[in-house]
């Protein structure tokens, strides 16, 4: 009888020990009913290793003093520095001086992104009290490893002194962001990566993460920002309203430029007029493409949608071409100040500004590029929806190549060149103000001092106006991959570009009147206009 009891006890002990093996904890926790991350954190404090693998290099578990800082390194590429305040917080109300610290790395394969609704703020997530985060991140986990840090038995969050986590990397990694795994409270859902409470610092060879809580940490390479439904709706309203306003104000701007051109023909006004016309076509074509897809719903794309897609592509190319010509004209005025007369100058610019986009879209149209384009969107709950517009057809095999060349490479080249032109303008303005500032006469010093603030504001307005004319606001597209605020800034500035062109036309009108008045008072001042931006 006692032999039978001994065998049963021995079998139970063996099964219990086998279940507490650290290598099997994840598999066992994934099969449970509770969140596996919560189960894993609890069991790695007491699990053991197989006899032949008693010392595992990437698994550290040791007792540390709560009144001193602790630093562990489970792998050569992962280091953790925990301040004493965090260790004391994890101890809670206990009187023990030592607490258990566990640090290890596990494969990112176990972290499967799933729909994640935002819970009420401040609601407890397992063992950690972390406020809700409206957006979450997607991307590739650097190195495929996730760093797990556990200390004590109490939740550790909202720390005044952050925990420092260091992830070594090679210099080929351009961008990354520190995140932690935020588990889901809903059944049949896992969780998602979130950046809440974590700051990222890339030194070139390592990512330094400063986080105010303990959890499962990783670095996402080339992260993708997820936008929730409310933000997507707000961005749509901003785009449509801004484009409608741009259509209205570009029409008024064209009227103003035609009036100025008849009153005093100037090459710069002619270039502005062509750029304003291309902007009018761009915003108008965008609204027409969106409206047509909304009216036709799920019907197949016909010749009308293909034509609107061609019109939108042509308008976009024309806009950037005329922005490049604005920069070229500015180069002639600032660098080649003398001997810049070109026979039929505006006609030659028009052949380039309108001819190059026309030739491009004709070739693309013959190739069958245009049609209905479908873009899959995901909100914060990971619910997918489809946005459609008349553009380059999603079914065209070379769509990505054509889109990259015409909507990425060409605009980037234009923005780069025009940025150099704007820098040259700022340098010339600074030199001009410096020369005018060198006045030795005491009687004129007070007058110059009063005009200094006015000149500064005028120079700032000139630089901002030129930034819109040269299309530098499109360079903010790079910020849309970084933060949600970058998406808002890019959308607002570029949807309202027609409004900014209207303000620029008003500034030119005011300058034209002031120049006429000054020329009446001082006829010699008329000679100064030959080197101004309006000539």
Residue with token string 């530098």: 472
- pLDDT for the residue numbered 186: 57
Residue with token string 């809580």: 213
pLDDT band per the 50, 70, 90 thresholds, residue 526: very low
Residues 435 and 469 in one domain: yes
CATH (domain of 414): 1.20.1070.10
Domain endpoint, select from 196, 224, 252: 224
Mean pLDDT, the chain, integer: 76
Domain endpoint, select from 203, 224, 245: 224
Determine the Cα–Cα distance for residues 427 and 431; give it in Å rounded to an integer: 6
- pLDDT for the residue numbered 183: 76
Residues 121 and 136 in one domain: yes
Residues 403 and 497 in one domain: yes
What tokens does 365 get? 């149209």
Residues 512 and 454 in one domain: yes
Identify whether 503 is part of a domain: yes
Alpha-carbon torsion angle 15, 21, 24, 28, nearest 10: 60
Number of domains observed in the structure of the chain: 2
Beta bridge partners, 198, equal 211
Determine the Cα–Cα distance for residues 312 and 306; give it in Å rounded to an integer: 10
Identify whether 16 is part of a domain: no
Determine the Cα–Cα distance for residues 309 and 394; give it in Å rounded to an integer: 12
Identify whether 4 is part of a domain: no
- pLDDT for the residue numbered 468: 85
Residues 326 and 206 in one domain: no
Residues 264 and 358 in one domain: yes
- pLDDT for the residue numbered 88: 84
- pLDDT for the residue numbered 348: 92
Residues 43 and 186 in one domain: yes
224-237 tens-digit pLDDT: 555 666 777 888 89
Q: Which of 64-78, 376-390, 445-459 has the highest mean pLDDT?
A: 64-78
Question: Average pLDDT of 374-399?
Answer: 65
- pLDDT for the residue numbered 340: 63
Identify whether 199 is part of a domain: yes
CATH (domain of 52): 2.60.220.50
Identify whether 13 is part of a domain: no
Residues 268 and 287 in one domain: yes
Q: Which of 104-118, 214-228, 285-299 has the highest mean pLDDT?
A: 285-299
Identify whether 7 is part of a domain: no
177-194 tens-digit pLDDT: 888 888 766 555 567 788
Residues 96 and 245 in one domain: no
Residues 411 and 519 in one domain: yes
Higher pLDDT, 520 or 392: 392
- pLDDT for the residue numbered 380: 47
pLDDT band per the 50, 70, 90 thresholds, residue 165: very high
Identify whether 6 is part of a domain: no
Residue with token string 């001092």: 449
Q: Write out the residue range of the structural domain in which residue 144 sits.
A: 22-224
Identify whether 1 is part of a domain: no
Residues 168 and 259 in one domain: no
312-364 tens-digit pLDDT: 999 999 999 999 999 999 888 877 665 567 788 899 999 999 999 999 999 99
Domain endpoint, select from 224, 248, 268: 224
Higher pLDDT, 443 or 219: 219
- pLDDT for the residue numbered 129: 37
Q: Can you tell me whether residue 61 is helix, strand or coil?
A: strand
Residue 439: DSSP 8-state = -
Residues 233 and 217 in one domain: no
């Amino acid at each position: 009888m006692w032999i039978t009891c001994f065998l049963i006890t021995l079998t139970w002990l063996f099964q219990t020990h086998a279940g507490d093996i650290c290598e099997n904890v994840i598999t066992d926790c994934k099969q449970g009913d509770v969140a596996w991350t919560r189960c894993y954190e609890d069991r790695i404090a007491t699990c053991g290793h197989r006899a032949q693998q008693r010392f595992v290099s990437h698994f550290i578990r040791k007792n540390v003093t709560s009144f001193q800082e602790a630093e562990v390194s489970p792998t050569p590429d992962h280091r953790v520095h925990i301040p004493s305040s965090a260790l004391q917080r994890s101890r809670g109300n206990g009187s023990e001086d030592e607490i258990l610290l566990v640090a290890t790395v596990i494969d990112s394969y176990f972290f499967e992104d799933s729909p994640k609704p935002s819970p009420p703020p401040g609601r407890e997530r397992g063992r950690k009290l972390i406020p809700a985060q409206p957006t979450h991140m997607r991307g590739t986990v650097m190195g495929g490893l996730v760093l797990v840090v556990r200390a004590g038995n109490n939740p550790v969050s909202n720390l005044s002194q952050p925990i420092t986590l260091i992830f070594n990397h090679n210099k080929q990694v351009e961008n990354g962001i520190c995140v932690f795994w935020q588990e889901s409270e809903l059944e049949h859902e896992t969780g998602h990566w979130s950046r809440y409470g974590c700051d990222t610092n890339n030194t070139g060879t390592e990512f330094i993460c400063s986080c105010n809580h303990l959890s499962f940490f990783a670095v996402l390479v080339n992260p993708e920002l997820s936008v929730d439904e409310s933000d997507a709706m707000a961005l749509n309203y901003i785009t449509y309203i801004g484009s409608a306003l741009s259509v209205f104000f570009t029409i008024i701007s064209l009227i103003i430029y035609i009036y100025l051109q008849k009153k005093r023909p100037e090459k710069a006004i002619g270039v502005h007029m062509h750029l304003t016309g291309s902007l009018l076509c761009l915003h108008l074509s965008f609204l027409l493409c969106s409206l047509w897809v909304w009216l036709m719903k799920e019907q197949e794309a016909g010749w009308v949608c293909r034509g609107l897609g061609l019109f939108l592509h042509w308008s976009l190319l024309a806009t950037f071409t005329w922005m490049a010509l604005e920069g070229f004209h500015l180069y002639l005025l600032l660098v080649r100040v003398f001997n810049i007369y070109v026979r039929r100058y505006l006609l030659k610019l028009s052949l380039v500004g309108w001819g190059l986009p026309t030739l491009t879209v004709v070739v693309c149209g013959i190739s069958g590029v245009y049609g209905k384009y479908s873009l899959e969107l995901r909100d914060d709950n990971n619910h997918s929806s489809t946005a459609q517009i008349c553009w380059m057809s999603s079914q065209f095999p070379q769509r990505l190549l054509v889109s990259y060349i015409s909507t990425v490479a060409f605009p980037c080249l234009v923005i780069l060149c025009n940025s150099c032109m704007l820098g040259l303008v700022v340098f010339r303005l600074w030199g001009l103000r410096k020369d005018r500032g060198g006045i030795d006469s005491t009687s004129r010093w007070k007058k110059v001092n009063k005009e200094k603030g006015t000149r500064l504001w005028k120079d700032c307005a000139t630089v901002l106006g030129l930034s819109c004319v040269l299309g530098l606001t499109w360079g903010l597209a790079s910020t849309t991959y970084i933060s949600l605020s970058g998406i808002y800034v890019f959308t607002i500035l570029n949807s309202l570009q027609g409004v900014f062109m209207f303000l620029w036309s008003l500034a030119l009108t005011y300058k034209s009147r002031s120049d006429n008045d000054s020329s009446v008072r001082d006829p010699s001042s008329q000679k100064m206009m030959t080197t101004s931006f309006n000539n």
